[in-house]
Structure 1
C-alpha cells in the first residue's frame, strides 16, 4: 500500500506544480480539472501521512518493547502499540476505497428526466413527488436545480419533467437514482380505499461538455414555436419555445422554460448532447458486461430499483435489499442514507474487481 501511496504522492506533487503555471491558470477548463484532481489526490496523501505515522509508531513501540530496559517506557510503548494497531485497519480500509479508480463522470453536473409510467394520473402525481424529493435533497446539498422542460399531469404532478442539477460531484451521487421507482398507496380519487401501484422512470445523465461529445449541428433540425401553458404575457405571442430533432437517432428535445429563444436553445442543446453522450456510455457499459454486473448504478431504465409503500410507511431499495420504515422523511428529501448504502455496496463490488489496487 505504501508503494501505491508514493505513486499518488508523485502525481500530487506534479499537479501541485502545474496549477500555479500561468498557462494553466489562463486555461479555465484545464485549471478546473487539475484543481479537482489536486483535491482528490490530497485526500489520499493526507490519509497516507497518517498511515505512515501509524506504521512508524508500531515499529518504534515494538523496538522499545523488545529492548525492555526501561519499564516505564516499555509500558507506554505497549499502550502506543495497542492504540496504533487499533487505528490501522480503518485507515487501510479508507485508503483502499480512495485508491479505487474513479469514474471521470462522477464530478459532472447532471440532467435528470422524470417520466410518469404506468398508473395514469397517480403516476403523474408520483413523478411530481419524486421531483420535489430531489429538489429538497439538492437544496440540502447546496446544489442548484434548474428546470429545462415540463409537461404537467391532468390531476397534478408531471407527465414529464426535465431539470439540471449543478454542484460538486453531482453525477457520482445522483446516478444511483436512475431506474424505475414504484409507489404503492391509495390514490385521492379512490373511493373504496384500495391500494394502487404506479411507477415513474428516472434518468440521470452526466452533463456533456463540448469536449466530451461533439454535436454535429448539421444533423440537428431546430423548430421554433410559441410557448404553451402558464407563463404570462409572452406565452403564445413570441417564438421562444425550442424543439430539436436529432435526425440520425430520432431524438426530440423540447425547451420552453425561458422567455428567451436563445436560452431555450442553449438548454435544449445541453440536454440533447447529454442524451447522446449517455448513449455512448451505455455502449461502453454493455461492452464491459462484467463491470456492469457489479455496479448498482448501471442505470438500467427497465429495472425496478425502489418501492415506496405508503400503507406500511416503507421504502425498499431492491438492488441491495435495503428496507427503511421512514417513508415520510425520505419522500421529503432525506435520501442520503439510501445513497450511502448504495455507494458502500458499489465500492465493495469494485474492491473485489480491483484487487490489484493494493
Structure 2
C-alpha cells in the first residue's frame, strides 16, 4: 500500500455511557470539524450512522491537508467527559466515553485480502433521518468475515467509487491492526486507553499524553487543539 501523507480518516464511536456517550461522540466530531476549519483542512463526513432515536452510533470523517496524519496521529484513544447528565432527573454527574482512531489513507497497490473472505453488500444511501437519498443501490458495505470488521461507504453516487473507498478503508484497518500487533478477538476497542478527560464541573481538560491540565475547555471544544496535539 502506498501511503497518502496529506490525508487521513477520523473514526469515532461511543462507548459505555448510554445516550450521554452518543451525544459526547457528536461533540468530539464537531471539535475536529472546527479544528480542521481553523487549519484550512478539507474535512468530509464519510459515514454518520444513527440509531432509531437519531443518536450517533458511529462517525467516519476524511481529512485532507498538509501532513494531516502526522498532526492528528496522537489523538488515538478514549476521550472521556465527566459532567452532569441531561438524561438524569437529579442531574447527577455522569461519565461519557468515545473512542477516536486516526487511520492512514493509502492507495492499494497489492490487495492482501482474499476476496473469498469478504461479504460485499449494496444498499440505498440514506440521509441523516434515515430516509433514502438515492434510488439506486450505490452504497456499499464490506465485511471481512474472519475478523468481523465491517466498513461502509455512501459518500459517492457511484457504487464503484463507494466500493473503492470501502476497500481502501478496510485495508487500512487490517494493516493498522497488523502493525499494532493486536489480536482480533471480538471487539478491538481498548476503553482503558485514555487520551483526554474533560471535567465540565471543574472547567478543565486533563491530557494524559501531555500530562498536564488545560483550563480553556470552551476553546478546546471549539477546535483550539494546538496545545494538545
Same fold (TM over 0.5): yes
**How far apart are 1:330 and its partner, in Å?**
0.1
Q: Does 1:158 align with 2:158?
A: no
Higher Cα radius of gyration: 1
Relative to structure 1, the CA distance from residue 171 to residue 106 in structure 2 (aligned partners, 3 Å threshold; closer, same or farther) is farther
Q: Does 1:280 align with 2:178?
A: yes
SS in 2 for 1:132: helix
**How far apart are 1:232 and its partner, in Å?**
9.6
2:193 pairs, out of 282, 297, 303, with: 303
Cα distance in structure 2, aligned partners of 1:200 and 1:232: 23
Describe the superposition over 1:304-337 as per-residue Cα deviations: whole angstroms up to 9, x where unpaired: 1110111111100123321001100001100111
**How far apart are 1:115 and its partner, in Å?**
0.2
**How far apart are 1:212 and its partner, in Å?**
7.7
Alignment of 1:1-358 (within 5 A): 107-152=5-50, 158-211=56-109, 214-230=112-128, 235=133, 237-283=135-181, 302-339=192-229
Cα distance in structure 2, aligned partners of 1:192 and 1:300: 31
Which position in structure 1 is the counterpart of 2:186?
A: none
Q: Which has the higher helix share?
A: 1
Please identify, of 246-255 and 159-168, the stretch whose mean Cα deviation from structure 2 is larger.
Answer: 246-255
Cα distance in structure 2, aligned partners of 1:226 and 1:112: 24
Describe the superposition over 1:241-265 as per-residue Cα deviations: whole angstroms up to 9, x where unpaired: 2110223332211223333322321
Q: Which aligned segments of 4 or more residues in structure 1 are displaced greater than 6 angstroms?
A: none
Unmatched segments (≥5 aa) in structure 2:
184-188
Please identify, of 236-245 and 150-159, the stretch whose mean Cα deviation from structure 2 is larger.
Answer: 150-159
Relative to structure 1, the CA distance from residue 196 to residue 231 in structure 2 (aligned partners, 3 Å threshold; closer, same or farther) is closer
**TM-score using structure 2 length:** 0.85
Relative to structure 1, the CA distance from residue 172 to residue 212 in structure 2 (aligned partners, 3 Å threshold; closer, same or farther) is farther
Cα distance in structure 1, aligned partners of 2:222 and 2:74: 18
**How far apart are 1:139 and its partner, in Å?**
1.3
Q: How many residues align?
A: 223
Cα RMSD after superposing both structures: 2.8
Cα distance in structure 2, aligned partners of 1:125 and 1:205: 23
Which position in structure 2 is the counterpart of 1:41?
A: none
Cα distance in structure 2, aligned partners of 1:265 and 1:215: 14
1:121 and 1:154 in contact (8 A); partners too: no
Cα distance in structure 1, aligned partners of 2:217 and 2:141: 38
Unmatched segments (≥5 aa) in structure 1:
1-32, 34-104, 287-298, 340-358
